[in-house]
Chains A and B, each alone.
Chain A
Amino acid sequence: MLEVTNISKRFVKDGIIIHALCGVDITVGSGEFVVVSGASGSGKTTLLLGASGLMRPDGGEVVIDGQRPYELADNARSGLLASKTGFVFQQFHLIPYLNVIDNVLVRSGAAGSRFRRGRGEELIGKFGLSERVKHYPAQLSTGEKQRVALARALYNEPKLILADEPTGNLDDENSRIVLGYLSEFAENGGAVLVVSHDSKVSEFAGRCIELECGKIVGEKVV
């Protein structure tokens, strides 16, 4: 589902070149739950953004479900992101002026998507938020916010979920709930790539990759 081959990325900050990624290879197949862990500054987020089609790498190749996002035009790449991927952020990034149902349905406005209110309500029900449909993000707990974000990511029935520290702001209970959903998504044939330094994530992952200074230093199958 996701093939990342030899990608590299460097940044220049205050005249100093920082090699965020140095020839990283990752493959995430359908039904796989892969976690990339590492210390802060190890290149986890850069890897995730590069793999998602949001940040063009300096070198290497990214293939999502057979398509190379960085070789596509803007519209086509947007269509690929809308239909194949779902993104979950540590800060949730729910849109503050939309209530719960609208925050899920907002994905229907993306390229190539269609409006399916039933699908949105189904996901909200699945994540135990039926009582919160009309509530706004400011009225939700952090766990509820992340569940809404997860529902939003799943709305278009993507094949790949990319999550950046999805449990970073959650307590243990909510972390396990969210990871449980991600695990369930993988069990149902989806591909999940999570970057996190939370050890709990490894308990749900099928494979763990250790990143250090932009290089893979270890990989183990759980």
Chain B
Amino acid sequence: MNIRRLVFKEIAYRKVNFALSVVCVAVAVASVVGAMVVLKGHDVRTGEILAAKGAETEKQMKALDGDVARSMLKLGFNVVVLPKDQNLGDWYADDFGAKYMPEEYVERLANSKIMTVRHLLPSLQQKLVWPETKRTIILIGTRGEVPNIHKSAKKPLIEPVAWGTIVVGYELHQSLELKADETVTLLGREFTIAKCHGERGNKDDITLWIHLGQAQEMLDKEGKISAILALECACAWADIAKVRQEICGLLPETQVVEKGSQAIARAETRKRVAEEATAAMEREKQFRGNLKRGRENFASVLVCVVIAACAFIVGALAYGNVRSRRWEVGVLRSMGYRSKQILGLFLSKAALTGVLGGLGGIVIGIASGVAGFGYLEGNGGETIGVSELFAGSYESWMILFVSIIVITPVFSAVASWIPSVAAVRQDPADILCTEGV
């Protein structure tokens, strides 16, 4: 007859007492495991929400990238290369230059290795009165895009105006009732209307575009241009200083100004959207963080209260059990049982209570934590799967569970320790006298 057999026999005899103790330990463990499951579930769900938001933002950003690219393609010019002696105040006021530079500059720029500039459009511009119609117009001579030999061929943004043809701005063709393929006279020369532009709501509406060579002849500016419109790639929009530095380095007799560009506005809008998305992510993170802190605080209080209550109940049950078995202690001592053996009798029962309660508590804790998480998240009962819960943190869960299996017997033994030691330390003769030998 060993202590183990005595323990099991006693447990079988006092089933209710033992079951209550196991349930108490299981509840205490379940509260810890349940809280851990809820908090882990919170982390997993937070990760999912942020990943979904991140993916959505990424998608929006890609869509915006497309929009910006399309906008850039249509809107074109970002910088204007002007002669160095051009008064910028006049240029900004009149929106065209009165100074000139060699047309050869555009060739030099096109043949350079400047990577930030993609599309080059030389032009000769002059504001004048259209003598045949008495209308003030802006005459632009353009030769189309000058190919850059160091870059891959791209579709030109603007088609050149053919010799002898003219493109007419909206206000002009509307007021003069001009139509495509008609013939108009400008400064004594006849031109066939190649195209009538739609309304743009800017100076383009009073502009006439002709071939650069013809404009140079008509304005007596052969080999001269007044500006090079440079359309740079989308990646350079945020670094205009670099574009300016590169061009001025190649063409010292020029100056570079930024063209008020809708593309930049769009890019800024895109940036703001990105910032807003980031802010939204931060707000979500903050919300989830606050929610987690609230849950942690609640869980820590709940767990402490539950553990304290369960420890008290386990202790009280142990005390009651020891108290009702005092005479048994006296009898066993009279038979020659050592005090350590009798202490082992009570503490091994407590340890077994802890092991069973710990195992039960783990199962109950996972189940209640999973169910409780679904309730707390309020997603119509949608909760976290056990596999999702363990994914990526299997080892830490195992460490927790092993710790519980180790700690709960100690926890139960500690709760039973005082009454057990008190009973064992008591003089067996006192017990036997008190119990009415």
Contact = CB atoms under 8 A, between A and B. Distances in A.
Nearest to A115: B1
Chain B contact residues, majority secondary structure = helix
A164 interface: yes
A113 B331 contact: no
Interface in A182-209: none
The 7 closest A-B pairs by CB, nearest first: A82-B336, A97-B13, A55-B429, A110-B336, A81-B336, A49-B429, A54-B429
Contacts of B433: 45, 49
B327 interface: yes
B337 A109 contact: yes
Contacts of B430: 55
Interface in B397-437: 427-430, 432-433, 435-437
A156 B339 CA distance: 19
B1 A78 contact: no
Interface of A: 45, 49, 52, 54-56, 74-75, 78-83, 85, 87, 89-91, 93, 95-98, 102, 105-113, 115, 152, 156, 164
Interface string B322-334: 0000011011111
Given A54-B333, A54-B334, A83-B336, A89 B437 contact: yes
B428 A78 contact: no
A195 to B, nearest CB: 10
A87 B335 contact: yes
A22 B47 CA distance: 83
Given A55-B427, A90-B437, A164-B437, A97 B9 contact: yes
Nearest to A156: B336
Contact of B335 (A55, A74, A81): A81
A110 B435 CA distance: 21
B203 to A, nearest CB: 106
30 contacts: A45-B437, A49-B437, A54-B334, A54-B428, A54-B432, A74-B338, A78-B336, A82-B337, A85-B336, A89-B437, A90-B437, A91-B435, A91-B436, A91-B437, A93-B330, A97-B12, A97-B14, A102-B9, A106-B1, A106-B6, A106-B335, A107-B1, A109-B2, A109-B3, A109-B6, A110-B336, A110-B341, A111-B336, A113-B336, A152-B335
Interface of B: 1-3, 5-6, 9-10, 12-14, 327-328, 330-339, 341, 427-430, 432-433, 435-437
Nearest to A94: B331
B437 A105 contact: no
Contacts of B2: 109
A205 to B, nearest CB: 20
B12 A87 contact: no
Contacts of B432: 49, 54, 89
A123 to B, nearest CB: 14
Contact of B338 (A75, A89, A97, A156): A75
Nearest to A110: B336
Contacts of A49: 429, 432-433, 437
Given A82-B337, A107-B335, 17 more contacts: A52-B334, A54-B334, A54-B427, A54-B428, A55-B429, A56-B427, A87-B334, A89-B432, A91-B436, A95-B331, A97-B14, A106-B1, A109-B6, A111-B341, A112-B336, A115-B1, A164-B437
Identify the interface centre among B1, B3, B13: most chain A CB within 10 Å of its CB: B1
B338 A111 contact: yes
A210 B433 CA distance: 21
B6 to A, nearest CB: 7
A115 B3 CA distance: 13
